[in-house]
Amino acid sequence: MDGTFRLGAIGGITIEIHYTWLLAFVLIAWTLAAGFFPDSYPGFASQTYWLLGLSAALLLFSSVLVHELAHSFVARARNIPVQSITLFIFGGVSNLRAEAETAGAEFVVAVVGPATSFVLAALFFIIGQAVPERGPLGALLSYLAFINVLLGLFNLLPGFPLDGGRVLRAAVWRATGDVRKATDIAARIGQLLAFGFIAWGVLRIFSNDLFGGLWIAFIGWFLNNAAEASRRQVAQQAFFQGVRVAQLMDATPDTVVPETTVADLVYGHFLGKGQRAVAVCSDDQLAGIVSLTDAKAVPREQWATTQVSQIMTREPLHTARPGDDAAQALKVLAENGINQVLVTEDGRLVGLLSRSDLIRYIQFREELGIGAAETVRSGPRR
């Protein structure tokens, strides 16, 4: 997801924060400090309310992180690789590098998140019984117990991409044996729920609750976009069932060495060959990638004296292996907003798979009348 920065890692899983999380944190802390806690627990000092608001917002997102970690750890136990967890304005998301291979695995990975939220709610409630109910600590624990119950219930709504939608998808998948059909049904129900949230938000706005109404409507808008994106992604991935990266990649990609000047890169590769990004290799090993955007950042009068090594991206490099599923490469392209993925083997560049390669493959299948359910085998492109 673009616009993120790395916070750290837990159990080998990278934790990232999207810039929208900062907005959500400020809004939630302010709403709690200026509204919820003063209304529900009158009599505290002003600074106490702000301390409660900031603490509650931080612990709310910590609860979301624990919720996502539960998804991620269970996914790894089911041999589903986990790339990272990203916290953003609407909560969090576990970025899995592959989908569950069975309906049972999908169910377990999905249901553990809400279950974790309910366990957290119970823990906060139990701890809250040991402190004064009307004191600041009691107020904080009471809120955290309530919000985790709400988080668990919200995620159990039976619409994709919520956990409840994934549980529904698992059930339909198990009943029909068709993951694409199951995703389509769960996503359409998710869109119906999303439209319900939007309508509810509009009603709240007309009931003089501008902030709350906008927030609810915005959640509905987000859910609708996520559900539609999921439907499109599964439809596209169906075309790549059984297709490996090696079958679609350019097996003889253009490369440059780190010492190449920006002038040579622009005139010899970008303009000369119509490319937007070129792999950088040194001693037969992949060293990085340089793009049109990187070159544009260099003043034109410095092109002849600036080397590619000074502007190329060394990490993170988004890579795939020749034997990887092409559908997974498509997911990497979509999640990272990039146009090509580097295909490597033992640190060596062996190919380049671009978004246009995948689109061309889909177009060819459609022109030939070959449906998504039909498996196609072919050799690597030369």
Q: How large is the average pLDDT for residues 351-373?
A: 80
Beta strands in 229-326 (DSSP E): 255-256, 277-282, 285-291, 319-320
What long-range pairs does 32-36 form, CB within 8 A, spacing at least 24? 32/56, 32/57, 32/143, 36/143
**Would you call 29 helix, strand, or coil by DSSP?**
helix
pLDDT of residue 64: 92
Q: How large is the average pLDDT for residues 200-216?
A: 89
pLDDT of residue 23: 86
Which of these, 245, 265, 244, 247, lies nearest to 256 by C-alpha position?
Answer: 265
pLDDT of residue 319: 86
Q: What predicted TM-score, i.e. pTM, was given to this entire model?
A: 0.71
* Annotated active-site residue in 16, 68, 99, 106: 68
**In CATH, what class is 245-368?**
alpha beta
Report the mean per-residue pLDDT for the chain.
86
For the ranges 93-97, 117-121, 177-181, 297-301, which has the lowest average pLDDT? 93-97
Which of these, 317, 345, 327, lies nearest to 245 by C-alpha position?
Answer: 327
pLDDT of residue 372: 57
Q: Please say if 68 is a catalytic residue.
A: yes
Question: What would the DSSP string read from start to end of 127-157?
Answer: HHTTS-TTSHHHHHHHHHHHHHHHHHHHHTS
* pLDDT greater than 50 at residue 381: no
Tell me the domain boundaries of the chain: 4-238, 245-368
Beta strands in the chain (DSSP E): 4-10, 13-18, 82-88, 91-96, 255-256, 277-282, 285-291, 319-320, 340-345, 348-354
